[in-house]
Copies of this chain bind each other. A is one copy, B any other.
Amino acid sequence: MSKSFATRMAEAVQKTKSVTCVGLDPRKAQLPAPIRDNVAADAPPDAWAAAYTQFCCEIVDVVRDLVPCVKPQAAFFEQLGPAGTVALGEVIRYASDAGLIVITDGKRNDIGSTATAYADAYLGTASPWGSDSLTVSPYLGEDSLEPFVEVCDQRDAGIFVLVKTSNPGGGLLQNRETDGQTVYARVAELVQHFNATRLDSFGYGPVGAVVGATYPEQLAEMRAAMPGSWILVPGFGAQGGGAADVMAGFDAKGLGAIVNNSRHIIFAHSRPEFADRLGDARWQDAVRAATVEMNEQLAVVKD
């Protein structure tokens, strides 16, 4: 790949006219019946892993022309043990081959050569896992992020650093102020520092940020603090954030943010508005309808 991660993201958003990121969070109990019923409850992990792969790859088939990116959640694959991570690898490859940008949500973090190992593992379509991007935690400080940024440079890949998360308890550490600056604002300052010398023609760099939809005021604050950063916004849909809550994340062209939705899209067959009309039997149609609905709610991309 010759274009930077940020540029590919901007072009994918413009092409699809969508800022929706579909979160791939497979869970045994919530799989649609046509897939779940093929696996015995006490089946070995590789049977469930195959079900996860089928489920996620079918979602990719449904949404590939509708959205710029997908975000597989590593935790749910790892929950199946090693067989689950094999499925994660298959899903990443399938989505990437389908032309989607893949953000592996692993919230990894470590120091020095160990951080480099994670970066080498996940960043770039030619890497062992083959994803375009990885979510990363900042608790270990600047020298834990630098190895990731270096690999981003080498491979035209991206990362998303946890800045202000969507959960109620996120503020315990993130909101603490020192000399008037919160911890999350300090992380944002670091993110902007990394991007400042790496901006593309759209004005963005490889170091994205995670800022939850559940705190709209902080999203506006963070948009201003990190003008060079793609913001990954979780918390939309099932976690309670709505369209009005995420508008502050976008720039004037409707770029600069992608909004993740996992459960309300991938398990749309269980939502009241789709359950009767489509239900488990037509779960793929429910996924498509929910994705189109979200795209319409967030029609911010300008020509």
Contact = CB atoms under 8 A, between A and B. Distances in A.
A34 B121 CA distance: 26
A109 interface: yes
A166 B128 contact: no
Interface string A146-169: 000000000000000010011111
Nearest to A75: B117
B171 A75 contact: no
A172 B141 contact: yes
A79 B183 contact: no
Given A139-B137, A140-B169, A86 B84 contact: no
A186 B190 contact: no
A186 B114 CA distance: 26
Contact of A128 (B81, B107, B177): B81
B78 A121 contact: yes
B167 A117 contact: no
Contact of A169 (B108, B142, B162): B142
Nearest to A120: B79
B167 A143 contact: yes
A59 B143 CA distance: 30
A177 B174 contact: no
Select the residue from A81, A107, A139, A173 with max chain B CB neighbours within 10 A.
A139
Nearest to A162: B139
A99 interface: no
A88 B78 contact: no
Interface string A175-216: 011100001001100100000000000000000000000000
Interface residues of A, number: 58
Contact of A143 (B86, B89, B122, B168): B168
A68 interface: no
A190 B178 contact: no
A190 B172 CA distance: 10
A110 B107 contact: yes
Nearest to A262: B114
A129 interface: yes
A148 B122 CA distance: 25
B139 A167 contact: no
A27 B117 CA distance: 9
Interface string A58-102: 000000000000000101101111101110110000000000000
A118 interface: yes
A186 B177 CA distance: 13
A140 B162 contact: yes
A111 B142 contact: no
5 contacts: A111-B166, A138-B173, A139-B165, A141-B172, A144-B169
Given A73-B117, A140-B165, 4 more contacts: A73-B114, A82-B82, A139-B173, A173-B173
